[in-house]
A and B are shown apart, each in its own frame.
Chain A
Amino acid sequence: MFKDTFSLKSLILPGAIFFVLLILPPIIPRFYTYILAVIFVTALVAMSLNMVVGHGGLFQFHHGVFYGVGAYTLALMLTKTSLPIWACFVASPIIAALVGLLIGAFCVRLTRLYFGMLQISLGSLIWAIAFRWYSVTGGSDGIHGIPMPSFIGSSTSSYYFILVVIAICLMILFVIFKSPFGATLQAIRDNPDRCEAIGINVKRHQLIAIVIATFFAGIAGVLFVVVEGSVFPDLLFWVYSLEIFIMCLLGGWFTFAGPILGAAIMVSLRTFVGIYTEYWTLILGIILILLIFFLPEGVWGYVLEKLGSRPKEAIEKGSK
């Protein structure tokens, strides 16, 4: 599937970036290796959200739930069962996708804001379970000290593991983005009624997109546990979902790579500005205001527009 989508030329830049990221850990301090790993994981969850928000036009307001479900499933399986490690790693994104299917099946019956509101409601129920069910989920404390297999026991080895998994996930997401499914999803975003009129079962298509997106959010949740070794209910709280949403807007929600940039900006802001002030969200707020006025297509969307691959006039007309 990769050889049809990727030409040798198209792989040069991503390959070079991958190579640089591969040789970084021995060169940079361990703290930066950790931050990079957090950026990768956050980028994946943002990319998975963008598949349904930016490319699918769905108001997926509570995507963090599926990220959290992936993380909690792995944490619970590793701490409370004796199943093989690989089974825990595989089952977690599948469970996240099943929860996505269940919630999505209700939500796709509604449109736009109603879709988003119902998702927040249903997602909040899952958050409440994680938050209150102390005997199983650890309640507000979460689960800490999750045992990791030795091959990802150190920060460097977990960094490499995450890097490789993320690279594979991004390639698969790109293949889907470029596929007839991805093209149809973008058409649905632009005009769902027209899509119905050309023979597309819009709701089923949207539901499949949600299941795929939540599966990848589940993978991101698994990788979060690999990085942090713990889970806590904030992952499932709607405020975190909003943060992921902002990452997509910040990076460029109509682009493929924008959310990576958005995630990198958000994580860096929280980490580095957070050192100096706990009010780092003030800076984020100012950035968002500037973004709305000057870069409505997000940072990466702006770059692509300047490079000439997205005519501005069309974008303005399209957004009406």
Chain B
Amino acid sequence: MLRVEEIHKSFDDFKAVNGANLTVEKGELVAVIGPNGSGKTTLFNLITGQLKADQGKVIFNEEDISNLPPYKICKRGIARSFQIANIFPRLTVFRNVQVSVLSQQEKSRKLFYPAEKLAVEETNSILERVGLSGMAGNTAGSLAHGDQRALEIAIALGNKPELLILDEPTAGMSPEETTATIELIKRLADSRELTILFCEHDMEVVFNAAQSIMVLHQGLTIIQGDPDQVRNSSQVQECYLGGAEPC
């Protein structure tokens, strides 16, 4: 479904992503791991068009989407959440998700019909799925951090994506919130025909949840394989889990 081929991105002299490769098959739950600064977020930004690659390709459903702007990539079926809660703070929780659903339904430019009568069922069903239906009328900026992260995922779901990319979905969460979020991600992966690509620092979470893991180190893909392969890889142990010299 998604192939990232030898992608490179530099910021001045700093090589943030330096030849990363990634394959995501339909229906998989794939994790990207790597130490801080290894280029995970940059890689996600390259896939979703927030950044333009210097070299390499991003192929989604056999189409090269490398140089498309973010909104066109989203229309192809890739939605994402961000590392820092990235919501619409002045709008209500309901409206946050509804705007996304309206965009997916190509109704964002409708001028002469009240928004409150459109995409209501779809929005409510997403809010229920992420456990925010009780807060639909609250202003998004007033939510607790954990709820804002859940809303972040709900906004992404509003696009009915084929591939959902989650950038550290549990960052800054309490242990309880982390558990709930991981359960939510597993539920989404199970209950919908949704492919999920995420990055995460909590190794326990990654090795329990993911079907495939890609290890990124200094912008370079070291290995991609199932959890056992990754766990037993001497390269990974040397370069990442042991925190030893770069290879």
Contacts and interface: CB of A to CB of B under 8 A. Distances in A.
Contact of A178 (B49, B114, B159): B114
A45 B28 CA distance: 54
Given A198-B159, A200-B108, A205-B109, A183 B102 contact: yes
A315 B69 contact: no
B99 A183 contact: yes
A197 B76 CA distance: 12
Given A180-B102, A187-B88, A318-B90, A197 B139 contact: no
A178 B91 contact: no
A300 to B, nearest CB: 15
B115 A182 contact: yes
Interface residues of A, number: 38
Given A197-B50, A198-B99, A311-B139, A180 B113 contact: yes
A241 interface: no
Given A178-B114, A184-B108, A315-B90, A197 B103 contact: no
Interface in A38-86: none
B26 interface: no
A180 B90 contact: no
B90 A197 contact: no
Contacts of A205: 108-109
A318 B95 CA distance: 15
Interface string B125-157: 000000000000011111000000000000110
B23 to A, nearest CB: 23
Contact of B71 (A175, A181, A196, A317): A196
Contacts of B88: 186-187, 190-191, 194
A194 B111 CA distance: 21
A176 B148 CA distance: 28
B213 interface: no
Given A179-B110, A184-B108, A317 B159 contact: no
B83 to A, nearest CB: 13
A193 interface: yes
B121 interface: no
Given A197-B70, A198-B159, A199-B75, A179 B103 contact: no
B133 to A, nearest CB: 19
B90 A198 contact: no
B79 A197 contact: yes
Given A175-B112, A317-B141, A318-B139, A180 B159 contact: no
B70 A4 contact: no
A313 B142 contact: yes
B71 A199 contact: yes
B114 A194 contact: no
B93 to A, nearest CB: 11
Interface string B48-78: 1110000000000000000001110011000
Max chain B C-beta neighbours (<10 A), residue from A189, A195, A198, A201:
A198
Contacts of A313: 141-142
Contacts of B172: none
A227 interface: no
A178 to B, nearest CB: 5
Given A184-B99, A205-B108, A254-B90, A200 B115 contact: no
Interface in A200-214: 200-202, 205, 208
A186 B90 CA distance: 8
A4 B142 contact: no
A144 B61 CA distance: 65
B80 interface: yes
A315 B141 CA distance: 8
User: Closest 3 interchain pairs by CB?
Assistant: A314-B139, A317-B141, A199-B74
Given A5-B114, A198-B79, 11 more contacts: A175-B112, A179-B110, A183-B99, A187-B88, A187-B96, A198-B71, A310-B139, A314-B138, A314-B142, A315-B139, A317-B89
Interface of A: 1, 4-5, 175-176, 178-184, 186-187, 189-191, 193-202, 205, 208, 254, 310-311, 313-315, 317-318, 320
Interface of B: 48-50, 69-71, 74-75, 79-80, 82, 86-91, 95-96, 98-100, 102-104, 107-118, 138-142, 155-156, 158-159
10 contacts: A176-B112, A180-B109, A180-B115, A186-B90, A186-B95, A190-B88, A194-B86, A197-B79, A313-B142, A314-B141
